[in-house]
Structure 1
């Protein structure tokens, strides 16, 4: 049995976004119960040179939308750019829902048909990476997706939010 690349891309994103929504909802409830300002959660970092929690959510949602566009054949210069917005739990949860809906609408046939498409992608100042579509999804997109969701999870857990593996898994 072969699993379609579109199924891997879309179902993994949907599950990660369910988990991300779960942990943000629990963090919101925790903030209310402890009368802690949401900003304390939003601005928290694991280390000074790492981005804050809200950025983890903002970045991975944009990354998923851009990844879906990339895999459906949108040219690099035409990829969507989402503003890095959302300073509250409600705003981030709404962003996840909106971006998840965009990913879900991506054309399965286009994603599956682009498994061998060559992607030239910027990965830093004056650096690009050449990768085929299947490798992009399996070896670049998915690790990034789970890295940033895990980082958000760890930042919230570190601040005492009672989240666990089931929350992270989107169960």
Structure 2
């Protein structure tokens, strides 16, 4: 049986949303235990020209549920609004994305296969099929931003490891 578009995208997106939520909790708990300033860790970056932790978490939501919304419209454009500025607001952003993904109908997604859509930002215009947008653009971006958030938290001293990034894996049934 071939893998559906839903099966190829949604479970992994939900897994990374869970990872981002877990990273937020671990980072906030660590910050509280160390007495650090939350604004400082939320604004932390790996390097000066890279966007901060808050942006990375926001982008996990944008490249999951935001990608689904873009396919529905046939057009993806970056959300240029500032990221949520608190742990709670970031959790709300992730919760909204999770709710949107959990409500997506598999049949609706299968109806998108072969549908034209495009990405536009400034001078960049990229044409995609819906499935190629989700699997070759949104999904890699989703993993990139989850990984960047992990790396920022780790670089600040948050005691996290590989299993914190992987989140809930989908093992085979015994």
Given the two structures, how large is their TM-score scaled by the length of structure 1?
0.89
Report matched runs for 1:142-153 at 5 Å: 142-153=139-150
Partners of 1:22 and 1:40 lie apart in 2 by 19
Report matched runs for 1:2-151 at 5 Å: 2-71=2-71, 73-76=72-75, 83-122=81-120, 124-151=121-148
Alpha-carbon distance, 1:82 to partner: 8.6
Partners of 2:78 and 2:103 lie apart in 1 by 15
Secondary structure, counterpart of 1:15 in structure 2: helix
Partners of 1:111 and 1:81 lie apart in 2 by 22
Alpha-carbon distance, 1:80 to partner: 10
**Do the aligned partners of 1:66 and 1:80 also contact (CA within 8 Å) in 2?**
no
Partners of 1:80 and 1:132 lie apart in 2 by 18
**Do the aligned partners of 1:54 and 1:87 also contact (CA within 8 Å) in 2?**
yes
Work out the number of aligned pairs and report it: 168
Alpha-carbon distance, 1:118 to partner: 1.3
What's the counterpart of residue 154 of structure 1? 151
Partners of 2:62 and 2:135 lie apart in 1 by 18
Partners of 1:3 and 1:87 lie apart in 2 by 38
Alpha-carbon distance, 1:25 to partner: 0.6
Q: Residue 80 and residue 41 in structure 1: after superposition, are their counterparts in 2 closer, same or farther (change >3 A)?
A: closer
Alpha-carbon distance, 1:106 to partner: 2.1
Partners of 2:75 and 2:97 lie apart in 1 by 19
The answer for unaligned runs of 5 or more in structure 2 is 169-174
Alpha-carbon distance, 1:144 to partner: 0.3
**Do the aligned partners of 2:74 and 2:116 also contact (CA within 8 Å) in 1?**
no
